[in-house]
Amino acid sequence: MSSGSTGIPTKKHTTMKKATIAAALMLAALPLAAQQTGVRVTARNAADNSLAFDAAITGYGTFTIRLAVADIRNHAGDDALTVTVTTGNEGGEILSIAPQDAARPVTADFSWDWINGTLDATPDLGFIYRLPIAAGKSTTVRSLTPAEAGMMRDNIADFRMWEFAMERNEPVFAIRKGTVIHVEGYDAENGQAGGGTIIVEHADGTQARYASLRSGSALVAPGDTIFPDTPIALAGGFSPEKAGELRSGGYGVQVGLYRYASNRNTALYPHMMAQTEFINPLFMTATGNGLLTDGQRATAKTTKKLLDAESGRTSFWERVFGR
C-alpha cells in the first residue's frame, strides 16, 4: 500500500503525515517499455477548493484501485472514507471531496493500493478453453502444487495449475482470446522480447498465467490482443540447474487460470485488497470437452467455433456441447 498527505505523496509503507495541499500534478507518462506496471495517486485542490484525487496508471488491461482517505478536514461528511474504483489504463480523476467552507481548501491524509485486474469478476465457468499446444499434438498433463509452481508465499485460494509436457522450443498457444498485460523481461527500447512468464486478461475478468516459457522467446508484447490460435512463446523450463527443464523433467509450459477475489485471508495478509483465486477450466481435447486430470494424456483439438468462442455465444450448454 502507498500513502501520503494531500499534496505530499510518500513512498510505500511510510507513515502518513498531515499537510496542507498546495498543488499536485499527475505523473508524466513515461514509455511503457521504460518502467514497471503501476499506479500512483496524487491529490490536488480544484478551483472551488474541493479535494480531487487523480490516478496515473502505467500498464495495460484493467486496474482496480482502493483509495483510503483519513482525517478529512473542512468537509461536511465523514472524516474518513474508502472507495474502490475499477478503470482502464487511462487513469484520471477517481474521487472529489467538496468543502464545507468554500473559502478554504479540503485537506486529508490518504493511502492506496491496486491490482492489475478486476476485483471479484464473475468468471464464465462454462467457457471451453483450448490446450496450449498445437492442434493434433499430444501432451502429458500434470497437476502442480504451489511449491512446484513457485507460489508458496502468495495469497492464493483453490490453487490449480497445470503443467503440459512439450518438446523444447515447441510453440505455446493462447488458451483464450485476451489482452497481454505482462511479459516478463519485455523491453521494446532495448529490443528484448522477454519470456519466462506471460499474463493475459480475458473478457470475463479472469487471467491466464503462462509460466516456464523459454526466456527471450516471447512472440507477443504487452497490449497485444491474442486469440486461441496465437503462438505466444516457446516451451521452456523452470529449473535452471536442469538447463531449463521443468521440475518434473523435460520441457513444456505451466498454465493457471484465476481471478482476483476480495481477500478472505486477513489473518496472514491483513492489508491486502485481493487474493488470487484459481479456477479449474474446461478444455477441448480430441476425446471431448471437460476437466483435466493429473497424469492424463491429452491431444489438442481446435474447431472454428472454439476459435470464434467470444463472438457472442453465451449459452452454457451450447458452449459445452455445441462444438
Identify the CA nearest to 252 among candidates 154, 172, 173, 190. Answer: 172
3 state SS of 289:
strand
- Which grid cell sits at 80? 474518513
pTM of the predicted structure, to 2 decimals? 0.84
Q: Are 227 and 249 in contact (CB under 8 A)?
A: no
Q: What is the 3-state secondary structure (H, E, C) of 8-75?
A: EECCCCCCCCCCCCCCCCCCCCCCHHHCCCEEEEEEEECCCCCEEEEEEEECCCCEEEEEEEEEEECC
Per DSSP, 168 falls in state T
Determine the pLDDT at residue 308: 87
Q: How far is CA 146 from CA 149, 159, 169, 192, 237, in A?
A: 5, 7, 25, 29, 16
User: pLDDT truncated to tens, each residue of the chain (323 aa)?
Assistant: 776 655 433 323 222 333 333 223 233 333 334 348 999 999 999 999 999 999 999 999 999 999 999 999 999 999 999 999 999 999 999 999 999 999 999 999 999 999 999 999 999 999 999 999 999 999 999 999 999 998 988 999 999 999 999 998 999 999 999 999 999 999 988 888 999 999 999 999 999 999 999 999 999 999 999 999 899 999 997 554 444 456 556 899 999 999 999 999 999 999 899 999 999 999 999 999 999 999 999 999 999 989 888 864 444 444 445 44
Determine the pLDDT at residue 319: 42
What is the Cβ-side half-sphere exposure of residue 154, based on CA atoms within 13 angstroms? 17
Q: Are 145 and 191 in contact (CB under 8 A)?
A: no
pLDDT tens track for 268-289: 999 899 999 999 999 999 999 9
